A and B are shown apart, each in its own frame.
Chain A
Amino acid sequence: MTTALASRYAAEYQTLAPALPGQTLSWLTALRGEALEQFSVQGFPSPREEEWRYTNVSAIEKKLFSPATRVTASPVDSDWLKSYQLEDAWSVVLVDGHFSAELSVLNGLPENISVMGMADALAKQPDKLENYINQAVNSSEHGFIAFNTAWFTDGLFVHVAAKQVLAKPIQVLHISTQNDVLTATRTVIVADEMAEANVIETFVGLDNAYLSAAVTEVFVGANAQITLYKMQCESEKAYHFGGIYVKQSRDARFNHHNFAFGGLLARCDIHTDLDQASECELNGLYLGIKRQHIDNHTRINHLKPHGISRELYKGVLDDRARGVFQGRVIVAEDAQKTDSQMNNRNLLLSSDAEADTKPQLEIYADDVKCGHGVTVGQLDEKSVFYLQSRCVDEETARNILTFAFANEMVDKVKIKGLHDRVLEQVLVRFPQEGVEKSWL
């Protein structure tokens, strides 16, 4: 990244800054100032950095994306929106990075639960947010985080008080509607001790080139549980960065389901720190076609004893698509009795498709159970024969098994409204004829 470009963004920032939320909060303006400075020096990450070696974001440099001014009228079609927005959920809808009261659904929230747009939260609960913003992640980690910290216009804030178990999921829907628009959003999710919540992040866009740069920080209290779903269905011309940074307290459980379907170039970070006996499960499915580049980068940091982590990422890559999986598991010296298993499986449907996979175990404790497995290849021939022996012709068998490879991850989604929407996206890629959807 040229510094010239970074300074172009920085110059634009000066005109943008007065409109950003939280301008009266000195702690936030200080964070934004530092982040801007960091970004001006670093720019976006380069493939020279080890954790970005397979993903070159220089294409973003060729464009200058600009933040949208506040959007008032909704420019999106309601039927289109229904294929992403759950009926039975509280939802915060962000259009081009700004909260839309018209599209959001926040009525009937129980007491002790905060669900609101980030700009709104910075106005109403600034002291609370001071404890969380940039506490699960550091702007110096890489350019996108610094960029997001300086630029974020809105986002989602969720706070679930101790022992509260949410009856409905919370959805944040990011919609990009304009060409060349830049959206930077910040989400903070907090579950206090023994609270439980399901949160869904959905990214969609109209058929434009745009840049989404989202950062999510998650704080899972002692013995609390958060299940976070990400459904990334950006337009096929879009650039997407989404980073999820998690702090798990003692006995906390964090489950993540990452569906990466869209974007010309999409990168997702999922980093989590585990305390004593915390558990995390990271599931991912990426489907690449044409010239898509989809990168998932996970880091599981076992800091204390008795932690459990399970990770399964699956990719199906066709045409000239490229999938990247970098999974790091770090077991600190103090994290004895850690039980960790990481798997990445890739299916290549074309000879021009590519999968780069790099699992890394860094173990500093001596009494642990850690494993990893990686496969890059074609369908299992035993399964193909099994279906043929059940009367199914070879081509149909391969179609069914490719669908099934992806569907295994969809099956893990326990929220029906979301399950059906994700399944719909998978069926667009791998249509299954002559079978009832409820049977899939």
Chain B
Amino acid sequence: MLSIKNLTVNVNDKQILKGINLEIKAGEIHAIMGPNGSGKSTLSHILSGKGGYTVTGGSVIYQGKDLLAMPPEIRAREGVFLAFQYPVEIPGVSNIYLLKAALNSIRKHHGQPEVDAMDFLTLVKGKIRLLEMDEKFLYRAVNEGFSGGEKKRNEILQMAILEPKLCILDETDSGLDIDALKVVAEGVNSLRSPERSFVMVTHYQRLLDYIKPDFVHVLANGQIVKSGGAELALELEEKGYSWLEDTQAAA
């Protein structure tokens, strides 16, 4: 589904990603862990098309296409979804307006007719129950005045409605208490399918207790320094990031 080869990225002439290689197949869950400043968020931003980064080398192929050549909205319509670390508040735009605009953009992209208002409401109300959210949320402005947990839940709600193929979760667990984390994790787990892949960028191992990854990669200083199965996260939890940074420095 996604093939990242030797990707190097600069921000303001400073190299942040120093040759990333990553293969993600349909249905897999990959966790990317690493200390602050390791380049985790840069990776998720690059995949979603955020501006302000310069790709200096390498390639990202998504479903056979050059992902980096697509504008952000085309990536999204092709099935790439970024759940933001800091979801943006948009006063004056209701959640339901955004959801409908987003869903219709995808349908148009695939040559399908716009969704009917009633069918759309039925779809949305089904998903909103899944995330234990109040229907009133739909008519409130996007993320405005939401708590941290509500914002993250709202991201997962959007994901559930847009049904992307590649879900990138950027520190979705940061700032969540255990109850909110469980709700978010259940939402993510309910979306798991053989056709859908996940990239979970996280600083904390705790998330992986609730969403079990197939692979764990450790990012340090702009490079993947170690990859393994779910057990790598536990080892990391025990030994700390300095264990790998030291190994890298020694090498």
Contacts and interface: CB of A to CB of B under 8 A. Distances in A.
Nearest to B83: A389
Interface centre among A382, A386, A404, A434 (most CB of B within 10 A): A386
Contact of B73 (A380, A393, A411): A393
Interface stretch (B46-54, B55-63, B177-185): B46-54
B104 interface: yes
A440 B76 contact: no
A435 B138 CA distance: 14
B18 interface: no
A406 B93 CA distance: 10
Interface string B201-228: 0000000000000000000000000000
A286 to B, nearest CB: 16
A389 B101 contact: no
Contacts of B158: 390
A440 B97 contact: yes
Given A411-B141, A434-B101, A391 B77 contact: yes
Given A388-B71, A435-B97, A440-B97, A408 B49 contact: no
B241 interface: no
A394 interface: yes
A383 B86 CA distance: 11
A166 interface: no
Q: How large is the interface on B (under 10, 10 to 19, 20 to 34, 35 or more residues)?
A: 35 or more
Given A392-B102, A434-B104, A401 B90 contact: yes
A435 B101 contact: yes
A220 B24 CA distance: 67
A388 B90 contact: no
A407 interface: yes
Contacts of A392: 73, 101-102, 105
Contacts of A383: 88, 90
Interface in A373-400: 380-383, 385-394, 396-397, 400
B82 interface: yes
- Main secondary structure, interface of B, reads helix
Contacts of B93: 400-401, 403-404, 407
Contacts of A406: 92
B160 to A, nearest CB: 13
A132 interface: no
Contact of B76 (A389, A405, A434): A389
B19 interface: no
Contacts of A394: 71, 73
A387 B98 contact: yes
Interface string B104-121: 111001000010010000
B165 to A, nearest CB: 13
Nearest to B103: A391
A80 interface: no
B3 interface: no
A391 B141 contact: no
B141 A388 contact: no
Interface in A29-86: none
A390 B102 CA distance: 5
Chain B CB within 10 A, most for which of A383, A404, A440: A404
Given A389-B49, A389-B76, A434-B104, A439 B97 contact: yes
Contacts of B104: 434
A391 B105 contact: yes
Interface in A394-440: 394, 396-397, 400-401, 403-408, 410-411, 432, 434-436, 439-440
Nearest to B91: A408
B146 interface: no
Nearest to A386: B88
Contacts of A386: 84, 87-88, 90
B30 interface: no
Given A391-B106, A394-B71, A411-B92, A385 B50 contact: yes
A393 B141 CA distance: 20
Contact of B94 (A382, A405, A439): A439
Question: 3 nearest interchain CB pairs?
Answer: A404-B92, A407-B92, A391-B105
Given A385-B50, A389-B72, 13 more contacts: A383-B90, A388-B71, A389-B50, A390-B76, A390-B102, A391-B76, A391-B103, A391-B162, A392-B102, A407-B93, A434-B114, A439-B94, A439-B97
Interface of A: 380-383, 385-394, 396-397, 400-401, 403-408, 410-411, 432, 434-436, 439-440
13 contacts: A383-B90, A387-B98, A388-B73, A389-B50, A389-B72, A390-B98, A396-B105, A397-B73, A407-B92, A411-B141, A439-B97, A439-B139, A440-B94
